[in-house]
């Protein structure tokens, strides 16, 4: 089966962003399928292509994946209009590929929601089976965040969401809330599969001999060996609500807990503001680092004590997200400190692999970090519980097998 795979933010493990599409494409290839990956140039990603762009794109084979990369740069720091235009340009370029290339099945993954447009065209004009993967619920999330308030834009987005779901032969949701959102659009259960983000154990399981050969542990300058190092990895944007973490850092500073350090690694629109606030308030217990490739990130997590899960206090996030960082943390054997309710908080409580605290509560957040710092034995036990959860339920190999089986079933049904 020849799969045409659309992911605007595709990256190999050499990048500093999620690698789900890379891993899924590699699993498809290992089962004898061919994959053409169509993507843009994402700020935190590395497509593996190095040649010059010609006529707005470049292409080549990366780890057996045929990659078509459009010269459409994107960054989380871009303004709203610039991002919208980049999304639309990618969708238009992708339509041409969907209408001109040879393939048996088209697969498109959001975000953005416009990723579904080439799949719609492939289904209508070429009668090709189409599978749509939903990573975030749009327009629900931007509406609840207040990022988009124009009723016309929200209506258009809702219409595109409906068209994407109903054009697709099947949908994949990354969390229970996302699956529920797809169902609410009158899509039958038989056409939906939940496949969350997973744990790259070969990169993050430091007990694995293969991983150990690749990874060298490291601690940032300013973090002592005896300090409790709590790490946040990922985007520093509006959705992440990182001011609440700085509030917790201020509370720790008031309590004189100089042996607890908060390390933020990543990039995003709000990172300069967060750094400026930390400096203005003399939060010397906070360190901000640039993004690093996955293997280097694994080395940091190997030395860390706690992984921080943080999102803005928006109900749509509670069950409607599947953050990569959570799976990286538990794969690394890190206890997770989570600051919002929902399905991940439920997993943490059920499997005793960390602590979940109420949103926007710096006192409870600081209490939890003090507990971790004072009872180091509990970290070992919680970390072991998290690693067991990673291996039993969220091993990328297991989830990728499920993914490939699902796409094969859709392709077979359409023959």
Cα 401 to Cα 132, 185, 325, 404, distances in angstroms: 17, 27, 21, 5
Do 248 and 369 form a contact (C-beta atoms < 8 A)?
yes
Residue by residue, what is the 3-state secondary structure of the chain? Answer: CEEEEECCCCCCCCCCCCCHHHHHHHHHHHCCCEEEEEEEEECCCCCCCCCCCECCEEEEEECCEEEEEEEEEECCCCCHHHHHHHHHHHHHHHHHHHHHCCCCEEEEECCCHHHHHHHHHHHHHHCCCEEEEECCCCCHHHHHHCCCCCHHHHHHHHHHHHHHHHHCCEEEECCHHHHHHHHCCCCCHHHEEECCCCECHHHHCCCCHHHHHHCCCCCCCCCCCCCEEEEEECCCCHHHCCHHHHHHHHHHHHCCCCCEEEEEECCCCCHHHHHHHHHHCCCCCEEEECCCCHHHHHHHHHHCCEEEECCCCCHHHHHCCCCHHHHHHHHCCCCEEECCCCHHHHHHHHHCCEEECCCCCHHHHHHHHHHHHHCHHHHHHHHHHHHHHHHHHCEHHHHHHHHHHHHHHHHHHHC
Do residues 32 and 155 share a domain? yes
Do residues 11 and 110 share a domain? yes
Report the residue count for the chain.
415
**Per-residue model confidence as pLDDT tens digits over 34-56:** 999 999 998 778 999 998 999 99
Beta bridge partners of 286: 262
Do residues 154 and 212 share a domain? no
pLDDT at 415: 45
Count of structural domains, the chain: 2
**Per-residue model confidence as pLDDT tens digits over 107-166:** 999 988 899 999 999 999 999 999 999 998 887 888 888 888 889 988 999 999 999 999
Do residues 53 and 194 share a domain? yes
How many angstroms separate the CA atoms of 20 and 294, rounded? 12
Do residues 362 and 295 share a domain? yes
**Per-residue model confidence as pLDDT tens digits over 7-26:** 999 999 988 888 999 999 99
Do residues 136 and 190 share a domain? yes
Domain housing 247: 201-393
Pairing of strands 354-356, 286-289: unpaired
Do residues 133 and 49 share a domain? yes
Do residues 184 and 302 share a domain? no
pLDDT at 27: 97
Do 309 and 344 form a contact (C-beta atoms < 8 A)?
yes
pLDDT at 90: 96
How many angstroms separate the CA atoms of 231 and 334, rounded? 10
Residue ranges of the chain whose pLDDT lies below 50: 415
pLDDT at 283: 98
Give the torsion through C-alpha atoms of 120, 125, 131, 135, to 10 deg: -20
pLDDT at 140: 82
pLDDT at 408: 96
Residues with Cβ within 8 Å of residue 204, at least 6 apart in sequence: 211, 298, 301, 328, 331, 332
- Tell me which residue of 108, 181, 107 sits closest to 143, measured CA to CA: 181
Do residues 192 and 218 share a domain? no
CATH label of the domain that carries residue 354: 3.40.50.2000
pLDDT at 107: 98
Global pTM reads 0.93
Do residues 338 and 220 share a domain? yes
Do residues 143 and 214 share a domain? no
Do residues 256 and 224 share a domain? yes
């Amino acid at each position: 089966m020849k799969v045409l795979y659309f992911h605007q933010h595709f990256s190999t493990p050499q990048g500093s962003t999620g690698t789900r599409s890379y891993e899924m494409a590699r699993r498809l290839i290992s089962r004898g399928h061919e994959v053409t990956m169509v993507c843009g140039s994402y700020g935190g990603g590395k497509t593996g292509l190095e040649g010059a762009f010609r006529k707005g794109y470049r292409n080549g084979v990366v780890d057996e994946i045929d990659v078509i990369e459009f010269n459409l740069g994107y960054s989380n720091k871009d303004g709203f209009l610039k991002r919208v235009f980049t999304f639309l340009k990618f969708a238009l370029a992708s339509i041409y590929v969907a209408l001109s290339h040879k393939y048996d099945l088209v697969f498109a993954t959001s975000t953005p929601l416009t990723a579904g447009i080439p799949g719609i065209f492939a289904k209508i004009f070429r009668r090709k089976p189409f599978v749509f993967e939903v990573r975030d619920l749009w327009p629900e999330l931007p509406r609840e965040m207040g990022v988009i308030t124009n009723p016309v834009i929200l209506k258009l987005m809702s219409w595109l969401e409906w068209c994407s779901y109903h054009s697709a032969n099947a949908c994949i949701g990354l969390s229970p809330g996302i699956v529920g959102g797809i169902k609410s659009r009158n899509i039958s259960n038989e056409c939906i599969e939940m496949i969350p983000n997973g744990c790259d154990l070969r990169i993050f399981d430091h007990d694995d001999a293969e991983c150990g050969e690749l990874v060298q542990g490291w601690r940032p300058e300013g973090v002592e060996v005896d300090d409790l190092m709590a790490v946040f990895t990922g985007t520093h944007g509006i959705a992440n609500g990182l001011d609440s973490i700085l509030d917790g850092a201020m509370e720790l500073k008031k309590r004189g807990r100089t042996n607890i350090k908060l390390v933020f690694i990543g990039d995003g629109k709000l990172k300069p503001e967060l750094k400026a606030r930390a400096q203005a308030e003399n939060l010397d217990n906070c360190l901000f680092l640039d993004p690093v490739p996955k293997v280097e990130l694994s080395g940091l997590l190997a030395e860390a004590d706690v992984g921080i899960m943080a999102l803005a206090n928006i109900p749509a996030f509670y069950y409607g997200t599947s953050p990569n960082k959570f799976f990286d943390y538990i794969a690394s054997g890190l206890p997770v400190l989570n600051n919002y309710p929902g399905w991940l908080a439920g997993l943490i409580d059920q499997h005793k692999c960390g602590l979940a605290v109420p949103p926007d509560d710096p006192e409870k957040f600081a209490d939890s970090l003090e507990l971790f710092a004072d009872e180091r034995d509990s970290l070992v036990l919680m970390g072991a519980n998290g690693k067991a959860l990673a291996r039993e339920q969220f091993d990328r190999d297991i989830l990728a097998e499920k993914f490939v089986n699902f796409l094969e079933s859709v392709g077979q049904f359409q023959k």
